[in-house]
Amino acid sequence: MLPMLQKSFFGWIRPRIEYEILPARLPEPDHIAASKTVRLYHPKSDKKNGSPLFRVGDKVNTGQKISLFTDDPAYVIATATGRITSISPFTGDFGKSYLAVTINIAETEVLDNEFEAVIQNPTLEGALDFLAFVPGKPPLSIFSDPQHDIKTIVINGVDNDLLVGTNQYIIKSKLNAVKRGIQILKAITGIENIVLTVAGESLQGYGHLGVEVKSVDTAYPSAIPRLIMKNVLGQIVPAGQRCEDLGVCFFSAEAVAAIGAAFDNGRIPITKAITLIKKDGSQKLINATIGTPIEDIFATYGVTVNEKDRIIFGGPMRGSAVYSLEHPVQPDTDAIMVLDQSQAAYASDYPCINCGECARTCPVKIQVNLLVRFLEAGQYEEAADYYDLYSCVECGLCSFVCVSKIPIFQYIKLGKYELERAKTAEGSNA
């Protein structure tokens, strides 16, 4: 596998970039456990008036639910036994705020058994109460949201970035857990219409799952939810709306498998499957405890990280770079990629030369060359009203092909974020 995809010699042919397709038989991945501490990102809402339920110094058990505030339903699941050594604010991408809960791992592990009471009688409330932090981060709260009437669940067995094989691995190796997860999902949500998407043509061997199996084209970016909606389900999501608004909700295969495993074992799963992508582009599937600092993983595999390298959570096209080796594995970390300084793409402040590569490569036919001019000028409303900002599925291909190396994808994300912020500000003033 090339460390970086190059433009083909015959540049007029639009390149077909393929997703990673895993072989049918896979070795059992290694398990990496955290060495000293685990860190968990507890979502932080603006209104935290309630009294804190956990303090620094409190002892927690593996699998215990940590909900920091009384009036906030958000929680994390302790993935190790030990004492909480710090609770500090952490700001993620685009201003998302969290409270980072660090747990010092004790020598003896004690398993929490609060969840066992739930498995006898699976309910949506029980799942919501304990399974929002399992690997794959199932979007369970959508079912209790009265604004959305979910009719279809799509289980995405294809990873949505290049080089990543995490969900494919789940489909190939943990089909029993997926099957159990599907039964649980049907039982707790009452939704019978479940679609499983798998990569490529082969639809054999999924008959016992009791779901509709559909194949997704293996060319990037067909596994992005909006494109699955269009190509697989034949539904077009209007710009500015989400798939959920059309009654379709997406689960990753891993989330479904985790739900299945939780109800099978009576324990909340805390192990995340991750594709580790090394500097030479080689991949390795590993299992790591949620909250494990990435330096522990790198130490195990002898990955050396130098100054100015990039560490990416997610794949090369859509992932997000982190700035610290202490950053922990999160429930939705499908891949960790290490990129040498010399291999990473850099952005430039060169102007758009209007070559049109972006517009021709865009999977949803956005006029990117014009859109980016509005975004560069900070005219986000115009960008959304006239140049289809909200049609973007965020595949990153425009930035990938840009001759001027304009960070178009970043402009798009920023534009959406700023518009969202303006909307919330207006809402709270009204």
Partner 1 sequence: MLEKKKLIVSHAPFWHSGSRVTERSYHTIFAALPGVLLGFYYFRMPAIGVVCLSVATAILWELVINLVSRRPITIGDGNAAVIGLLFGMLLPATMPWWAVITGTFIAIVVGKQIFGGIGSNAFNPVALAVAIMMVSWKDLFDFDGMLLNYDLDFATVYPIAAAKYFGTEGVISFNLWDLFMGRQIGGIGATFGLGLVVGGVYLILRGFIRWEISLSFLAGVYITAFVFHLFDPIRFISPAYQLLTGYTLIGAFFLATEDSSSPVNVIPMLIYGAAGGVMTVLIRNAGAYVDGVILAILVINLIHPLLDKIRPKALGKVV
Residues within window 77-106 making contact with partner 1, judged by CB under 8 A: none
Q: Count of residues binding partner 1 (CB under 8 A)?
A: 78
Does 330 help bind partner 1 (rule: CB under 8 A)? Answer: no
d(CA 315, CA 321): 10
Does 400 help bind partner 1 (rule: CB under 8 A)? Answer: yes
When the beta carbons of 183 and 361 are compared against partner 1, the nearer one is: 361
Beta carbons of 258 and 135 less than 8 angstroms apart: yes
Does 293 help bind partner 1 (rule: CB under 8 A)? Answer: no
By the 10 Å C-beta count (0-12 exposed, 13-18 middle, 19+ buried), 402 is classed as: buried
- The CB density around residue 94, as the number of other CB atoms within 10 Å, is 13
Does 365 help bind partner 1 (rule: CB under 8 A)? Answer: yes
When the beta carbons of 236 and 422 are compared against partner 1, the nearer one is: 236
d(CA 330, CA 39): 9
| C-alpha count within 13 angstroms, C-beta hemisphere, residue 236 | 5
Does 367 help bind partner 1 (rule: CB under 8 A)? Answer: yes
Residue 299 makes CB contacts below 8 A (sequence gap 6+) with 35
- Quick one: which segment of 107-115, 152-160, 300-308, 417-425 binds partner 1 (CB under 8 A)? 300-308
Segment 157-176, which members bind partner 1 (CB under 8 A)? Answer: none
When the beta carbons of 272 and 310 are compared against partner 1, the nearer one is: 310
Does 278 help bind partner 1 (rule: CB under 8 A)? Answer: no
Helices (H) and strands (E) in the chain, counts: 12, 16
Does 354 help bind partner 1 (rule: CB under 8 A)? Answer: yes
Q: How far is the CB of 243 from partner 1 (least distance, A)?
A: 11
Paired with 286 in beta bridges are: 30, 274
Q: Which of 58, 325, 382, 417 forms a contact with partner 1 (CB under 8 A)? A: 325
Does 423 help bind partner 1 (rule: CB under 8 A)? Answer: no
By the 10 Å C-beta count (0-12 exposed, 13-18 middle, 19+ buried), 237 is classed as: buried
Beta carbons of 221 and 232 less than 8 angstroms apart: no
- Quick one: which segment of 6-14, 48-56, 104-112, 284-292 binds partner 1 (CB under 8 A)? 6-14
d(CA 159, CA 253): 9
Would you call 54 helix, strand, or coil by DSSP?
coil
Q: Which of 5, 33, 106, 303 forms a contact with partner 1 (CB under 8 A)? A: 5
Q: Which two tokens stand for residue 115?
A: 């969840």
Q: How far is the CB of 386 from partner 1 (least distance, A)?
A: 10
The H-or-E segment that residue 194 falls in is strand 193-199
- Identify the CA nearest to 249 among candidates 157, 174, 156, 123: 156
d(CA 172, CA 336): 21
Q: Which of 141, 341, 342, 424 forms a contact with partner 1 (CB under 8 A)? A: 341
- Identify the CA nearest to 394 among candidates 417, 378, 373: 417
User: % helix / strand / coil in the chain, to the nearest 5?
Assistant: 30, 20, 50
Does 15 help bind partner 1 (rule: CB under 8 A)? Answer: yes
Q: How far is the CB of 390 from partner 1 (least distance, A)?
A: 8
Residue 265 makes CB contacts below 8 A (sequence gap 6+) with none
When the beta carbons of 90 and 287 are compared against partner 1, the nearer one is: 90
Q: Which of 53, 111, 142, 347 forms a contact with partner 1 (CB under 8 A)? A: 347
When the beta carbons of 180 and 327 are compared against partner 1, the nearer one is: 327
Segment 28-67, which members bind partner 1 (CB under 8 A)? Answer: none
- Identify the CA nearest to 271 among candidates 31, 2, 1: 31
Q: How far is the CB of 92 from partner 1 (least distance, A)?
A: 12
Does 377 help bind partner 1 (rule: CB under 8 A)? Answer: no
Segment 193-252, which members bind partner 1 (CB under 8 A)? Answer: 226, 230, 236-241
Q: Could you list the beta-strand ranges (E) of 294-385.
A: 310-313, 320-322, 335-339
Q: Which of 66, 198, 255, 322 forms a contact with partner 1 (CB under 8 A)? A: 322
Q: Which of 84, 101, 249, 401 forms a contact with partner 1 (CB under 8 A)? A: 401
Does 303 help bind partner 1 (rule: CB under 8 A)? Answer: no
Does 378 help bind partner 1 (rule: CB under 8 A)? Answer: no
When the beta carbons of 255 and 337 are compared against partner 1, the nearer one is: 337
When the beta carbons of 90 and 390 are compared against partner 1, the nearer one is: 390
Beta carbons of 167 and 249 less than 8 angstroms apart: no
When the beta carbons of 242 and 267 are compared against partner 1, the nearer one is: 242
